[in-house]
Amino acid sequence: MSILPFDKRDGVIWLDGKLVPWQEAKLHVLSHGLHYGSSVFEGERAYGGVIFKSREHSERFHRSAELLDFKIPYTIEELDAAKALVVKTNGFESCYVRPVAWRGSEMMAVAAQNATIHVAICTWDWPSMFDIAQKMKGIRLDIADYRRPDPKTAPCHSKAAGLYMICTISKHIAERKGYADAMMLDWQGRVAECTGANIFFTKDGVVHTPIADCFLNGITRQTVIDLAKRRGIDVIERRIMPEELASFNECFICGTGAEVTPVSEIGPYTFTPGNISRTLIEDYTAEVTPKAAQAA
């Protein structure tokens, strides 16, 4: 099936404070963000036309930029309003929302203190990928060769574009092997996350998840932990070694794109998607559904 390239689509994109026709939202080839990775972004979803946890994403967007030593030139409130405007103008109900900020073309060297900071907000159609019956079959994960870096070597708590380079490589390798994604270890060989999602395991009714100290403490991750605790399910954030995977019953990943997705296999380890995964899928679906839609 042919998929229309992202630069050839119709609609509008919010660029530096105003809506512009989709195909006119461009940057120069000598933009610093392209050459040196000085760019941050967010991944968000709208359900029923309402962006889930929009403010939390805008706050993280600001923090990510600060960690890369630049400042987003719009307030949290301005960003939230702009995101809502783009979703509404493009006429989406269920969609992905992508704010992105980058250093411009005034300087082309490692140092770029005087480069203009540009901000764009884009949206595209992206409904939930699977119903619960399909999700409960679980996906298969490879184990990546690349590892999440030592926090002393990279701004790991920033959603920075450059930190996803090894994720793209790892996901490509996994997909060529027939897997859906890859689980990454950290620089010390401990379980970390997937290429674009956080990971959880269950054992004897308790949820275990790696400590988010060298990768993003995802907004979806925080939501899932909260949902589990509301259910009275214990959640333990701890160091997890790869050899422990054989002892877990269930495994699932979560993120803006993945939502809550069970896992059936990680390399040589197998899991059986069960009640905890199903419960959290259902609870997450209810959590992201606008209250007006639930009442209808």
Q: Are 126 and 8 in contact (CB under 8 A)?
A: no
β-strand 44-47 against 95-103: which pairing, if any?
Answer: antiparallel
List the catalytic residue out of 8, 159, 177, 229.
Answer: 159
Report in angstroms the alpha-carbon separations of 281 from 130, 207, 266.
11, 14, 20
Q: Are 256 and 41 in contact (CB under 8 A)?
A: no
Q: Is 18 a catalytic residue?
A: no
Q: Are 9 and 83 in contact (CB under 8 A)?
A: no
Report in angstroms the alpha-carbon separations of 252 from 65, 207, 219, 221.
30, 10, 16, 11
d(CA 35, CA 109): 9
Q: Indicate the burial class of 152 (C-beta count within 10 angstroms; 0-12, 13-18, 19 or more).
A: exposed
**Token representation of residue 93:** 């109900």
Amino acid letter for position 205: G
Give how far the C-alpha of residue 245 lies from the chain's centroid of Cα atoms, to the nearest Å. 24
Q: Indicate the burial class of 224 (C-beta count within 10 angstroms; 0-12, 13-18, 19 or more).
A: buried
d(CA 83, CA 169): 30
Catalytic residues: 159
